[in-house]
Structure 1
């Protein structure tokens, strides 16, 4: 990026300025990695690494441990770290690149000046403009009285949408009467949706897969978390057994305990992808340490209300899109892929149509119908985004 000054938003938590760990990584020229098995996050900078556990005060710096007065926190899907205590830990791994304020912190942790700021200079040079180019700075939190509103609006800003095309590779998903595969339809709709979101909403859209490849359910959740997703949408096609061959329509799910046997059956079918994963055939998530690490200990109902709202907006938009499909409503069930995301962001699974229905299979084959589905989902995301961000702005 060009060198110059750039203000990156710091949010205030319990009176302390916090910044996103991903922003620290960018400033230091490092990278952030999610460690699902241990529920930790690793920051790599130069030859060093710092491992944090959101909510825990003890931070691993190389082979040593440091206890921070204020722990790292999850803030609407992103790990944030306390500027005052965390930046001095990063500084030795990026000499001349990251500094705390115009002066370093005193040993007692009190700022000499510029409380809550961090600066980045060109590697090997001072970042204060004495030599080389001017610094990039992370601004302090806004003054009391205006900071909380700015903080909440920024935290709730939906800047990244994760699109998850179901199945892929060796996992074909459901298959229609004439051989159309669910994995193919899901990917095509996802590609259309990604383009629409980026062009019309002007926000980032990330695919969990962009080709016909197998991606484990655990990896899909990690992609969502690593990319700081604010909304997660998993795309699938429904299917019915022979007795239900006439079934059709669209339904949208959020993660919660299934209320009907039909919903449980849909979840069982979509969760069957676990059988394609290493150790998946011998116990599913219980036999897969990656999935177990993601699912255990998560308060997966943290975004339950927002997930319900997102599902309702998408359902409504699809229902308004020409009336070509029966509106089967919003439902709830236990989908593994959303157990790794709903604790961090609103998450839904869209069963776009019944691929087992001869009529709906014909529709799903056509690019025009795929674009119609993508456009309806886009409308639902747009309406949810507008209402969620407006609700925070009105607080």
Structure 2
């Protein structure tokens, strides 16, 4: 029997198809700008950099007074570019998830050792509840949970890449802490310039302009293979990469360009790629239910909808304004695109959990 969630999934896919021409045009525009930009070490001389040069903070007071720039309009123009890139990411992720889900088949002879190893990695990638749902549910007739898990994994991976300082996990907290402290006492110009240089030169030191797309796209294929293995499939990471390489590489390249543009090119404001945390209470002001609230009330009486996973990336802009009066050191934030989420009540709608059982977000996964 086809549930509401499955029907809504198809509606989402139809909507994506209708937007395909627009998003593909946006992607071609971005790729065209990227090709003009050339190698990373010459990006400052590219048309892409020239188009965004007006957003750079002037180096000294004289140049500050010499340039009369409508900062509001330039930031608005940058909003359009960054939003386009985030939407391209969301589109490509949805395309890959749909294609992989449609091709998914359950194997008759699972390798239990591989399943156990993949399960541990899946727990790290999409959380224990999603990993448990993948392992415990029969997906032959309706692999919607596979689709949801794939989107959650790719969204999380793309967000990590786009938000990274230098792609070294151990240094993220150091950079983040320093930048947070700096924004309390320094101007947007000073903070933006420091962030730009910190990201640029730390990456140069570590990678020396090496192309990171191949390595990251193979990592993404490995993560997809783990989810499929846990769900009962038997796809190898190499086969997944070979089958979906153009999409995977577009996801990674767009995320890397988003990391560079928002981290190094823009200094007049800060952009943050958004996801919603698992088990977070649903807040319509900060996120959007991918099923438009139609299954939010499913489940036992008194159930409070919580986030099961993020299906689409969101985007938020922040800017420190010298004369602002608020409780956050003059930093104002604007939600440009809410992240779309799947709520945990979807498992009740699909009949995966009895209404008498505990919420899937709070229930302990089996060992």
TM normalised by structure 2 equals 0.28
Hey, which of these two has a bigger chunk of helix by percent? 2
Hey, which of these two has a bigger chunk of strand by percent? 1
Rg comparison, structure with higher value: 1
TM normalised by structure 1 equals 0.27
Could you say which structure has the greater relative contact order, defined with CA pairs below 8 angstroms and 6 or more residues apart?
A: 2
